[in-house]
Chains A and B, each alone.
Chain A
Amino acid sequence: GAVVSQHPSRVICKSGTSVKIECRSLDFQATTMFWYRQFPKKSLMLMATSNEGSKATYEQGVEKDKFLINHASLTLSTLTVTSAHPEDSSFYICSAVSESSYNEQFFGPGTRLTVL
């Protein structure tokens, strides 16, 4: 099946620093990738839709200047959390859409961000 990787899997940083998370589709091309955030005991919250070669579409309430998304190629999207604060601590998950598979979303393993 299609494989999506995320790097890093876990990151701890100081408040005020920026953190970049990479999402890669390893064996298929993904014109669309999604970035989710998950709060404890809650469902996934869609943050933004990332389309290759164009600007990301952010969901209401998500600060685009704080969560920078770049989809530079058909296999790579990056999420940069700028000037991170403790409230940004969360589990960030990306998914990549395989157009050849019913537009199914294949999920990355997630990145756990802890901001001290």
Chain B
Amino acid sequence: GQNIDQPTEMTATEGAIVQINCTYQTSGFNGLFWYQQHAGEAPTFLSYNVLDGLEEKGRFSSFLSRSKGYSYLLLKELQMKDSASYLCAAVDSNYQLIWGAGTKLIIKP
């Protein structure tokens, strides 16, 4: 079956760095998305990886290892507004998104 695993909840301190991990098992693979979702709102796009390696975009970076079925989202210089759920979603062979349950990130001052 298809499966995405990511931690349920993480806590970090304002100004620090946090890494959110995601492992996936899918029928075929056509890339992996990270989305940010604030409570009561639709997800917003953060990153897309289809090739191995690290992609940096400002304070956020995303890494992918296709051979390990593993990705992480790295958030630097954490701000209070970064408190949200972070959703990992892999694209299967039918180009459908297989969603993880999301990681709730709590930022403390």
Contacts and interface: CB of A to CB of B under 8 A. Distances in A.
Given A43-B87, A46-B96, A49-B96, A106 B45 contact: yes
A104 B31 CA distance: 10
A102 B50 CA distance: 9
Contacts of A93: 42-43
Nearest to A32: B95
A106 B45 CA distance: 8
Contacts of A62: none
A42 B42 contact: no
| A44, A102, A103, most chain B CB atoms within 10 A | A44
Contacts of A105: 33, 97
Given A49-B96, A102-B50, A108 B42 contact: yes
Contacts of A46: 96-97, 99
A103 B94 CA distance: 11
Contact of A109 (B42, B45, B50, B101): B42
B101 A43 contact: yes
A102 B31 contact: yes
A28 interface: no
A42 B43 contact: no
25 contacts: A42-B101, A42-B102, A43-B87, A43-B102, A44-B43, A44-B99, A46-B96, A46-B97, A49-B96, A91-B40, A93-B43, A97-B95, A102-B31, A102-B50, A103-B91, A104-B48, A105-B33, A105-B97, A106-B45, A107-B35, A107-B42, A107-B44, A108-B42, A110-B41, A110-B42
